[in-house]
Amino acid sequence: MTPEAVAAAITDVLESLASAGRLTLDAPVVPRVERPRNPDHGDYTTNVAMVLAKSAGMPPRDLAGLVAAELAEVPGVSGVEIAGPGFINLRLEAAAAGQLARDVVEDGADYGDVTDLEGQAINVEFISANPTGPIHLGHARWAAVGDALARVLVRAGAEVVKEFYINDRGVQMDNFGRSLQAAATGAAIPEDGYQGDYITDVAQEIVQSEPGILQLPADEQLAAFREAGYQLQLAEQKESLHRFRTDMDVWRSERELHESGAVASAFDRFRELDHFYEADGAQWLRTTEFGDDKDRVLVKADGEMTYFASDTAYYFDKRARGFDICIYLLGADHHGYVNRLRAVAACSGDDADRNIEVLIGQLVRITRGGREVRLSKRAGNIVTISDLVDEVGVDAARYSLIRYPVDSPLTLDLDLLEKRTNDNPVFYVQYAHARIASVLRNAHDLGIDWRAREFEPGLLTHEREAILLGALAEFPRVMSTAAELREPHRIPRYLEALATDYHKFYDSCRVLPRADNEPTPLNVARLWLCAAARQVLENGLEVCGVSAPDRM
RNA sequence: GCCCCGUUAGCUCAGUCGGAUAGAGCGACCGCCUCCUAAGCGGUAGGCCGCAGGUUCGAUUCCUGCACGGGGCGCCA
């Protein structure tokens, strides 16, 4: 019996009481069913009696009594108690709780999939680094979180596209090209250019593959370096993200938005809706009508398009491709952009509250040797995402970035991550998985085919078996919450709690028969439970993009 | 000045769509492998949940103000 089933039973009770005239209900209620911290409070608890007391016009405890009496008759429920100000605590029969193990095993990789977001088309844009250098540690958080979020949304039934916006036009591209050109020709790197060692490497690579480039006239040469460098960096970014197990579905070029006329037609749309005007020689979007602090320039007085101009077209582009919800993951240093983006939606006649979601993530601080590492692409002080993967591995890197809520600051201690100690919870979770895999392997070696034997869920009566079953039953709800709140960090946190519950179970409940004894029905039931726990750990780790090893 | 985020155990941080005794890891201390993976488990110590008000049966959680810390307020990207 799952928490969902308990909630449904409570709803049934409430409705039948209401239709029998024993209770007045203002509106249909979705009862909240929780797992109490304190095991003395039963397997599940609900506060419906307190919530409904006022509208029902009776004291919470009386109402609780009414509901509890009916609940006690529900099959699978072994006990109901009223506690405190009006909590209803209930206990399940072991067989009803244990049945879940079989359900999990049978659902396999699908266990934990939910339907909350079915029918929604969601675009998740993240990282969107300039193609003027490698993906670095400053981007790593978004790479991990964005990818995990996308996986969560998919599990919740949404249609999801992961997208990277390439800022391949504008001033930074020219700076980049000039820096490469200078590095290749032995000139000084411009002051506002890129200083990193990688610039020299890239410049050399370009000269090597296109020796003729050095003979070109200065203008053509600059363009050639810019374009060649762009292609090399873009390929580098794709490759390093691939190694990080973050593969984008769409790489959208800013340049293409201009060339295809998307920017121009966005402007037309704004004109139609009368949100567009000219002043001081520039062309503006009247974003202040929709909550922005000031209107924003689309075309500068010198005729150049702003970055924001592309953004407006990009939003239309996403909507035209059928996305109801456009999620942007941005760093805290871009939070000033939120109102602008929302205003774009509003200016085009959309509902900013529904169509645009901006997740602002706090920046990651990085320490090494107890000192903060400052990252600056232009100053050339870069730790790339590939360096991180080389040092600590993809699993540890992704996991430690995903396990914190994005609005909380995060310090990545490179020394700590390199240690591979238990400080890093990814090992704790993976170890639980490997431990179960080992037990199942041993069962197989002993010739115990638990799947073929009868599963007697009523045998799982040990307290730690009950707790483990309860934890397994939580997984779909954790997935729902993570998806609806856009909070993928809830998955690793859940997995850590689940791993603890498994380790505790393992510590006090012998799974396999000792010596040459024949397996008992209890051994078999526990193997089902182990298999279920292993499956949930695997599914959860998969959502994080972290491997679930069979041996460690 | 205005806007966003944070403030919870010695340290790093969870938790809160308002619920019963606030959690984990690390660090400290004490135990547990002739037995399925000890990367594990059990126990002890450690808290005015930043401060002050408000909302109510009930606030660490919601609202307001304040303090401290981080980030942002360009015809830059």
Write down how long chain A is: 552
Contact A388, A379 (CB under 8 A): no
- Protein A408 CA to nucleic acid B51 C1', in Å? 22
Nearest nt (C1') to A490 (CA)? Answer: B14
- Protein A422 CA to nucleic acid B33 C1', in Å? 19
Task: List the nucleotides on chain B closer than 7 A to a protein CB.
Answer: 2-7, 12-17, 19-26, 35-42, 57, 70-77
Nearest nt (C1') to A54 (CA)? Answer: B57
Kindly report which amino acid residue has its CA closest to the C1' atom of nucleotide B3: A336
Fold topology of A423-544: Isoleucyl-tRNA Synthetase; Domain 1 (1.10.730)
Contact A240, A384 (CB under 8 A): yes
Sheet holding A44-46, edge to edge: A33-34, A44-46, A87-92, A77-83
Query: What phi, psi does A359 have (nearest 5°)?
Result: -100, 115
Rounded to whole angstroms, how far apart are CA atoms A408 and A425? 18
DSSP letter for each residue of A4-23: HHHHHHHHHHHHHHHHTTS-
- Protein A500 CA to nucleic acid B70 C1', in Å? 34
Rounded to whole angstroms, how far apart are CA atoms A129 and A238? 11
- Protein A298 CA to nucleic acid B2 C1', in Å? 24
Kindly report which amino acid residue has its CA closest to the C1' atom of nucleotide B18: A51
- Protein A428 CA to nucleic acid B36 C1', in Å? 18
Kindly report which amino acid residue has its CA closest to the C1' atom of nucleotide B20: A84
**Residue intervals in chain A for CATH 3.30.1360.70:** 3-92
Contact A6, A90 (CB under 8 A): yes
> Cα dist. A468→A45, A80, A404, A460, A485 in Å?
17, 21, 24, 10, 25
Helix (H, G, I), strand (E, B) or coil at A90: strand
Shortest CA distance to A439 belongs to which of A349, A494, A507, A371? Answer: A507
Parallel, antiparallel, or unpaired for β A356-361 and A121-125? unpaired
- Protein A411 CA to nucleic acid B29 C1', in Å? 29
- Protein A520 CA to nucleic acid B44 C1', in Å? 39
pLDDT in tens, chain A (552 residues): 889 899 999 999 998 988 888 888 776 777 889 888 787 888 999 989 888 887 788 888 889 999 999 999 999 999 999 988 889 999 999 999 999 999 999 999 999 999 999 999 999 999 999 999 999 888 899 999 999 999 999 999 999 999 999 999 988 899 999 999 999 998 988 888 888 888 999 999 999 999 999 999 999 999 999 999 999 999 999 999 999 999 999 999 999 999 999 999 999 999 999 999 999 899 999 998 888 888 999 999 999 899 999 999 999 999 999 999 999 999 888 888 898 999 999 998 899 889 999 999 988 888 877 777 766 555 556 678 998 888 888 999 999 999 999 988 888 877 777 766 666 789 999 999 999 999 999 999 999 999 999 999 999 999 899 999 999 999 999 999 999 999 999 999 999 999 999 999 999 999 999 888 899 999 999 999 999 999 999 999 999 999 999 998
Helix (H, G, I), strand (E, B) or coil at A65: helix
- Protein A89 CA to nucleic acid B64 C1', in Å? 37
**Residue intervals in chain A for CATH 1.10.730.10:** 423-544
Buried b (16+ CB within 10 A) or exposed e, A358-393: bbbbbebebeeeeeeeebebbeeebbbbbebbeebb
Nearest nt (C1') to A305 (CA)? Answer: B75
Is the pTM of the predicted complex or chain greater than 0.90? yes
Classify A3-92 by CATH class.
Answer: alpha beta
Kindly report which amino acid residue has its CA closest to the C1' atom of nucleotide B4: A335
- Protein A408 CA to nucleic acid B47 C1', in Å? 21
Q: Token pair of A432, please?
A: 């639980």
Nearest nt (C1') to A50 (CA)? Answer: B57
Parallel, antiparallel, or unpaired for β A87-92 and A44-46? antiparallel
The distance from CA A232 to its chain's CA centroid, rounded to whole angstroms, is 29
Kindly report which amino acid residue has its CA closest to the C1' atom of nucleotide B38: A507
Nearest nt (C1') to A514 (CA)? Answer: B35
